[in-house]
């Protein structure tokens, strides 16, 4: 098996375990399962957090809050790439209302099952969780108004494919808001071959300017970092929220 295949297996195993334990992974860089305070530090509002059960929050593993910048409107269709336990999908669904839809795609079966169970418990009918890979999205062309993602693309070895798939599914006029771990400077080769460092959102992180370039090359315009924070507290790494448009 090649390195890309090994990375996929390591990432699936890691998030499969998180979905089943639901007890968070506070050691990880891309894991916010440390209580409501840390979610607020990531940019979630108190009002939004109050709408979510502990069951959903306990598997939250983001590094930012794309939802806080997405400016969602009633009736919009939102797609969350790497939706995990569904935290951003549930918030998006509440913002777009019954005429809108929020769809999550995740490649880890246990996460999708957990998110579907939470949706059922909350009786939410405008959400959908699909098992699939971001590099080959199970979503029709030009069918989505807004794509969000929270701490996921760093885990994807083929980032250019992920962003060209994102471009394909967005409607013209649609927007992308993605929070992710990026770096200032190159990640050391020794870390790049460490599968556990991939799963904890460090090894697959790339330089901020390269990240923006890949998004532009996928066809997006007005690509810019609109927010950033020091998380994770590892020298050279930070969390950025990037916005881009499909004109």
Ligand X SMILES: C[S@@+](CC[C@H](N)C(=O)[O-])C[C@H]1O[C@@H](n2cnc3c(N)ncnc32)[C@H](O)[C@@H]1O
Residues near ligand X, by CB under 6 A: 11, 15, 30, 60-62, 82-85, 87-88, 105-108, 111, 133-135, 150-152, 155-156
The DSSP secondary structure of 7-64, one letter per residue, reads HHHHHHHHHHHHHHH-S--TTSTT---S-HHHHHHHT--HHHHHTS-HHHHTT---SS
Rounded-to-integer distance, Cα 235 and Cα 123, Å: 43
47 φ/ψ angles, rounded to the nearest 5 degrees? -60, -40
CB of 132 to ligand X, least distance (A): 7
CB of 88 to ligand X, least distance (A): 6
187 three-state secondary structure: coil
Nearer to ligand X, 77 or 108 (CB): 108
Rounded-to-integer distance, Cα 164 and Cα 112, Å: 23
Q: Which residue has the closest beta carbon to ligand X?
A: 84
Rounded-to-integer distance, Cα 147 and Cα 135, Å: 14
CB of 11 to ligand X, least distance (A): 5
Nearer to ligand X, 48 or 135 (CB): 135
Nearer to ligand X, 134 or 144 (CB): 134
Token pair for 47: 């009002």
CB of 73 to ligand X, least distance (A): 22
Rounded-to-integer distance, Cα 227 and Cα 72, Å: 17
CB of 186 to ligand X, least distance (A): 22
Nearer to ligand X, 150 or 243 (CB): 150
- Of 178, 166, 107, 176, give the one whose Cα is nearest residue 142: 166
Nearer to ligand X, 111 or 244 (CB): 111
78 three-state secondary structure: strand
Contact predicate 84/56, CB 8 Å: no
CB of 89 to ligand X, least distance (A): 9
- H or E element, residue 100: none
Nearer to ligand X, 156 or 170 (CB): 156
């Amino acid at each position: 098996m090649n390195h890309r295949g090994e990375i996929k297996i390591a990432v699936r195993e890691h998030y499969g375990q998180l979905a089943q334990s639901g007890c968070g992974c506070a050691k990880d860089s891309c894991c916010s399962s440390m209580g409501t305070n840390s979610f607020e530090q990531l940019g979630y509002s108190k009002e939004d957090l109050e709408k979510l059960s502990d069951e959903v929050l306990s598997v939250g593993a983001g590094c930012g809050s794309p939802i806080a910048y997405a400016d969602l409107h009633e009736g919009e269709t939102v797609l969350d790439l790497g939706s995990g336990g569904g935290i951003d999908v549930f918030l998006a669904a509440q913002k777009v209302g019954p005429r809108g839809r929020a769809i999550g795609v995740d490649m880890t079966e246990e996460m999708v099952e957990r998110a579907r169970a939470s949706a059922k418990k909350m009786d939410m009918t405008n959400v959908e969780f699909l098992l699939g890979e971001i590099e080959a999205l199970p979503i029709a062309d030009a069918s989505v108004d807004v794509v969000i993602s929270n701490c996921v693309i760093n885990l994807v070895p083929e980032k250019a494919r992920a962003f060209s798939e994102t471009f394909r599914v967005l409607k013209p006029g649609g927007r992308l808001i993605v929070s992710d771990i990026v770096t200032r400077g190159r990640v050391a080769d020794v870390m790049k071959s460490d599968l556990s460092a991939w799963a904890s959102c460090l090894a697959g992180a790339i330089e901020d300017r390269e990240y923006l370039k890949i998004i532009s090359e996928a066809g997006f315009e007005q690509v810019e970092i609109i927010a950033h924070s020091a998380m994770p507290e590892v020298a050279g790494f930070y969390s950025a929220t990037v916005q881009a448009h499909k004109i």
